[in-house]
Amino acid sequence: MKQVYFDNAATTPMRKEVVEVMTAVMQNNFGNPSSTHSFGRHSRALIEQARKTVANSLNCSAGEIIFTSGGTEADNLVLRSAVRDLGIKNIISSKIEHHAVLHTLDQLAEEYNIELSFLNLDSKGGIDTNHLKTLLASDKPTLVSLMHVNNEIGTILDLQKVAELCKASGALLHSDAVQSIGHYPINLQQTPVDFLAAAAHKFHGPKGVGFAFIRKNTGLKPLIFGGEQERGLRAGTESTHNIVGLSTALELADKNFEAEHQKVKDLKSYFMTSLKDAIPAVKFNGYSGDLEKSTYTLVNVCLPVNAQKASMLLFQLDLKGIACSKGSACQSGSNQNSHVLNEILEEADLQKPSVRFSFSIFNSKDEVDYVVSVLKENILSTVS
């Protein structure tokens, strides 16, 4: 049976070079980075070089990069400290953020009685910047938290515009950039974002490691207490091999950006055209069918299948060796509809299966042909 992995928005396979460098570090650089002997110093040197590599990618200071266990921890570090330590009383966000943000905001509202405001969205999941301007007029200390690229429908936020609006109003800006770092260049000298979150496994690095960008002099304090690792902002012995794997993956993503971006974008375009030809009634959710307004790495499709057959579609695809998801992987085991699609789809389309297909440099047009043929076989025989 053919195996096709089209769930790269959930996680990506590691590059061969990343595996090789991580293996070498695990074998040869096992010293605790906080130890003062030569074993520890060698590990510390690798971590600091990795920090510089990440900082160079984002055009920021190495001291502004804090390594974490992933994007969720980075989001929590920023959001919780902003409320607890920076006196934030008002947070502006949207209802289609990742649950790492939304659930944290709910908890903060319960603990600290902060005011939560959610931006109006257009019918495809784009934010209403006029509404943002209105909400930014608040005289309360304000933080805006908006993801750069939506993980389900791929909508791209105009990060530059939002950052400039926030700066002009004196609000802080946090962006969950988990789906964009390693896929889009970000220049933090030009874009006045205060905080970013990233995860290595979204750009062909290892799981269990990510980073937070924390602009200097913002005053954030730690979420995890203990030792003085990570500039005192993240206690715990650093995972040297994972951190080196992260920096290697990001360095390779930057080095190969032009060619790999075009390859994956062409693959997405080919998938959309092939799918529309095979199943004319298919719809592309949000802006995911727009190559300019959504990320080149994913497409979210609403398939013309009746409700009775919809529940079995992912199972049938899995039986054919096809990996994809019904929204984000974080909720693919849930029977609830995607909270993102609930915000933008009409009720009739919510009753149909929506599936996210996401692509990487390791995919091919032959795999697209196979997936489209399987979808056509399964769907055209079950159209309501």
Catalytic residues: 330
Residue partners of 7: CB distance under 8 A and separation at least 6: 323, 324, 325, 329, 356, 357, 358
CA gap 107, 101 in Å, rounded: 10
Instruction: Label residue 245 exposed, middle or buried (CB < 10 Å: 0-12, 13-18, 19+).
Output: buried
Residue of 161, 178, 113 whose CA lies nearest to 140: 113
Task: Fill in the DSSP letter of residue 183.
Answer: T
Radius of gyration of the chain (CA): 21
Decide: 287 and 155 in contact? Cβ < 8 Å: yes
Q: How far apart are the first and last CA of the chain?
A: 29
SS3 301: strand
Q: What does 129-151 look like in DSSP terms, one character per residue?
A: HHHHHHHTT-SS-EEEE--SB-T
Q: What does 48-71 look like in DSSP terms, one character per residue?
A: HHHHHHHHHHHTS-GGGEEEESSH
| Helix 99-112 × helix 71-86 angle, to 10° | 20
CA gap 153, 47 in Å, rounded: 34
Residue partners of 98: CB distance under 8 A and separation at least 6: 71, 75, 147, 151, 176, 178, 328, 330
Decide: 145 and 212 in contact? Cβ < 8 Å: no
CA angle, corner 86, sides to 101 and 192, nearest 5?
70
